[in-house]
Amino acid sequence: MYIVLAVLAFSILIIAHELGHFTLAKLNGVMVEEFSLGMGPVLFSIKGKETRYSLRIFPIGGFVKMLGDDKKSDEPRAFNNKHPLRKLSIVVAGPLMNIFLAVLFFAISSNQGYVIPTVGEIQSGMPAQKAGIMQGDVITRFNGNKLSAWDDFMISMSTNKGEKVGITVKRNNEVKDFSITPAYDKVSKRYLVGLGGTLKKPNFYEATIYGFKETGFMIKTTGAFFKTLFTGKASMNDVGGPISVARITGDAAKAGIYPLLFVAAYISIQLGIFNIIPFPALDGGYILIYLYQAITRKEVDDNKIGIINYIGFILLMILMVLILVKDILHPLKL
């Protein structure tokens, strides 16, 4: 059942992405020939008024096939006959739907409560207590940087190797600065200052704000990870594929619907960001082309685009196989 929930959650992310493309294609007057969930041989399909809706055997993606997107057509409703800005809106809609879905899922998941940067727990004998931090203090800055969410604090501490940290708190409208040297915790094998945040149960407005804040934070951290990955500073041990995604979402499903939604939101953001990477066969590659056409008002040879995208697709498939093998031999550990 947990595997079914994990697959369902991932399928929703794919459907949302492709639904973004589909909706904007329709709004821009483009004929959609097929809306598919999954890749490979067709398991099931049904023909609508003009669009065929398909379910394919491999649940690793999906696609929206539009008239004129792979070869030229003289039909007025063909994708290739639309203005570059209209094409751009159709392509961008997919990743944007993933971001919108993340906001929604984060907002809903916050109904279980979320931690805010107000000190709720101070561990006895730990550096924070010795420095004079008290319960009720609101942490506003960490190492001089503004702190808007407890996640910021946790991420910053997770990379600490024992270096002294600066923590600014607000106490009764008074600002206090502390310089604290973390202590090594043998159980968690990390350097800690001994602070815990406060669990908050939000109302509808606060949940919505949390959804946007958490999405922004996750976009920032995911973007930073992709930067380290493509600059060679990240390890392949930090990368997970379909098996890792299924395992992580399955574990989240065991914990309940809210943890599952939180993990799904995080994966949705990664899908959105990955797709806007300017690489052939990804949405980002098309975005780059249509931006160029809109700015320069010059056409790009469709045959060359087709060849480049074909090569890009092959490279992506090779990458997928490599990640799948890595996933089997060395599963992602969290």
The question of whether 50 is a catalytic residue gets the answer no
Here the tokens at position 193 are: 């200052």
Given 18, 121, 163, 214, which residue is catalytic? 18
Identify the residue whose tokens are 């806007």.
276
Q: Just list the catalytic residues.
A: 18
